[in-house]
Structure 1
Amino acid sequence: MNTLSRIYSTEAGELLSQHSTDDLRRKTLQPVSMYSNGKVKSLPLEDRTPVFTPAGIIEAEMVTFYKSGKLKRVFPLNGKLSGYWTQEDEGKLADPLTLETPVGPLCVKVISLCFYETETLRSITFWPGEEPILQTPAGPVRTRIGISFSPEGRIRSLEPAEPTPLQTSIGKITAYDSDAVGINGDSNSLVFDDEGRVAAVSSTLNMITARHYSGAEFVFVPELRDSLCSESEREIVPMRMIFDEQGIEISLRPDSEPSYVDFAEYEISVTPFLPQLDNLSRGLICSV
């Protein structure tokens, strides 16, 4: 490292760290973070700089690295949002990137790209409002927030941008997580296994009936909770389902104890759960 010029030699290139601020976007001077072995961990850049990545050269304002020195994450923009600089202001500076991905070529605005230490693409986090239609093992899915991939290049997870009917091992389920938070695209509600089958999904528009061989019947439906928008309104809670070869784990709330339904002991059916559709719409408005 050249201390005077603040230039760091990395596997992504010779990079000049941030050493100035401005009154709108970059009000604070972000420090360079280092690992104990002397390798750079996170590096805010002075200007938008061409960075060498496994996906090609990308102009970035922030990069992070693994302890080995391999590139981990690339942020094309690194502005600080405030009352004077909004997400919309920052978004005007975001340029679409043309990327070759395991789901084909994409041209989207991104918040960040993440890579495995093996230099394969791990995830893409989309800019708010970007909703590309992606080809998945379950068919085309309009996607928001992001998508993640396995080290071998298979789709691992993504976030449906709209209620999307998908075939699962228990029948057709309408995938959609109204509680999805767009922090990054590393982990999403719709998950696929290595064979391309749906391994996990969230839904607000289905109910599951499990009939035991003894005659007992159990019905799982999405629950309602008090709305954050109004004390007089209720909003729907996405029901989470995780599949394996033997059965399905169902969680009605993120903090509730899941129920496990064994395929060998129960006959399972899936039906639409439409009475709360109006609550779903109100919940979406509240969460925006």
Structure 2
Amino acid sequence: MLTVETSDIKGITSFTTYDGGELNECKLKDYNLIITKYGDFVPQYGNPGVRTKQLKVLSFHKNGEIKSISLEQQTEVSTSIGIFPAELVTFFEDGSINSLFPLNGQISGFWSEEEEGALAQKYDFSFPFGNFSAKIIGLRFYPDGKVRSLILWPTERITIDTPAGKIPVRTGFKLFEDDSIESVEPAVPVPVETPIGLINAYDANALGIDADKNSLSFGINGRLTSLATFDIIMARKSNGEKKVIFPKLKPGLMEEYERVPIKLLFGDDTVTIDDGMKVTNYRISESMFKITGGDYKEATTCGDCSKCKGCM
């Protein structure tokens, strides 16, 4: 157990509490040593450097168990898949490790992602679905210590075996507790056989900061459950109703417009198709589908209906 008596914590400079008065998080100015089954940890207390995050140093669950430790210096952490250095470690309420992050620098005008990336190391990994070497942002675990997800460094790409075949991956992957793949983020458009035909799985807008939610997902039995695509889907129901579904555009943050991927969710003889504007459900056995690729940039969700070429 990782409960630490708050009276034993030295040099608290600021803190917050839960509504009931329990310590929530704090910052420190003195040396403290926290001994755990994963290693001995010294919370951050020294003078902050150019890449040091000015955030909480220690945080606690409401039951008094440590929730996270921002470390004074990179420290080795023992896990089920080996020993990894970490600058930030988080824990579940029962004291088991939740996640670790080898680096925890503050990206700012004074410290760039490229500079942080230069500090990142490559680590060797061996899983039932593939062996690879890569820089990582972090690892997340189940309470029993098994890996829950692996978050890749933004520039990293790996290739692993999935229920849909061998796939190049960015961002990372999430696992079930039996080490089988729950989801991955394809690095390039990948043809995937689905209950409605061959579809290119890819989400250009996928966030690269966490691997717990990825666009290509599978069930515990390996069956495809969801994917994102920029393909065009023609769907016809048994009553003759027909619809052409294609990616729309929306105002972007970095560019004037960005494409919104179509998201498909598969069930038992059903598919739910979400184009970002409307969600439509189909019974697969009572419908026909045709999948094609194309240039989707003519579509728009800008609200100017006089120039719309396909919003349905």
TM-score, length basis structure 2: 0.82
Q: Distance in 2 between matches of 1:200 and 1:29?
A: 36
What residue number does 1:106 align with?
Answer: 132
Aligned pairs for 1:1-288 within 5 A: 3=9, 5-26=31-52, 28=54, 30-204=56-230, 206-229=231-254, 231=256, 234-253=257-276, 256-270=277-291, 272-276=292-296
CA contact (8 A) 1:21 1:28 kept: no
CA contact (8 A) 1:62 1:78 kept: yes
Q: Distance in 2 between matches of 1:20 and 1:277?
A: 52
Q: Distance in 1 between matches of 2:298 and 2:134?
A: 32
1:242 is paired with a residue whose SS is: strand
Larger displacement relative to structure 2 (139-148 or 15-24):
15-24
Matched to 1:180, the amino acid is A
Deviations 1:203-232 (A, max 9, x none): 01x22222222322222121222344555x
Q: Distance in 2 between matches of 1:106 and 1:138?
A: 19
CA contact (8 A) 2:53 2:104 kept: no
1:92 is paired with a residue whose SS is: helix
CA contact (8 A) 2:175 2:181 kept: yes
Larger displacement relative to structure 2 (3-12 or 169-178):
3-12
1:90 is paired with a residue whose SS is: helix
CA contact (8 A) 1:209 1:219 kept: yes
How many residue pairs match? The answer is: 273
Q: Distance in 2 between matches of 1:214 and 1:23?
A: 67
Q: Distance in 2 between matches of 1:110 and 1:159?
A: 15
Q: Distance in 1 between matches of 2:173 and 2:75?
A: 25
Q: Distance in 2 between matches of 1:102 and 1:125?
A: 18
Matched to 2:165, the amino acid is G
1:107 is paired with a residue whose SS is: strand
Deviations 1:22-72 (A, max 9, x none): 331115263200123322100011111111111211111110000000000
CA contact (8 A) 1:241 1:250 kept: yes
Question: Structure 1 residues 229 and 127 mapped into 2: Cα distance closer, same or farther (>3 Å)?
Answer: closer
Following TM superposition, by how much is the alpha carbon of 1:106 offset from its aligned partner in structure 2, in angstroms?
2.3
CA contact (8 A) 1:25 1:79 kept: yes
CA contact (8 A) 1:210 1:218 kept: yes
State the identity %: 34
Structure 1 runs of 4+ aligned residues shifted over 6 Å read: none
Q: Supply the RMSD in Å over aligned alpha carbons.
A: 1.9
Question: Structure 1 residues 269 and 29 mapped into 2: Cα distance closer, same or farther (>3 Å)?
Answer: closer
Q: Distance in 1 between matches of 2:109 and 2:90?
A: 27
Q: Distance in 1 between matches of 2:49 and 2:154?
A: 24
Structure 2 unpaired stretches of 5+: 11-30, 300-312
Q: Distance in 1 between matches of 2:73 and 2:200?
A: 44
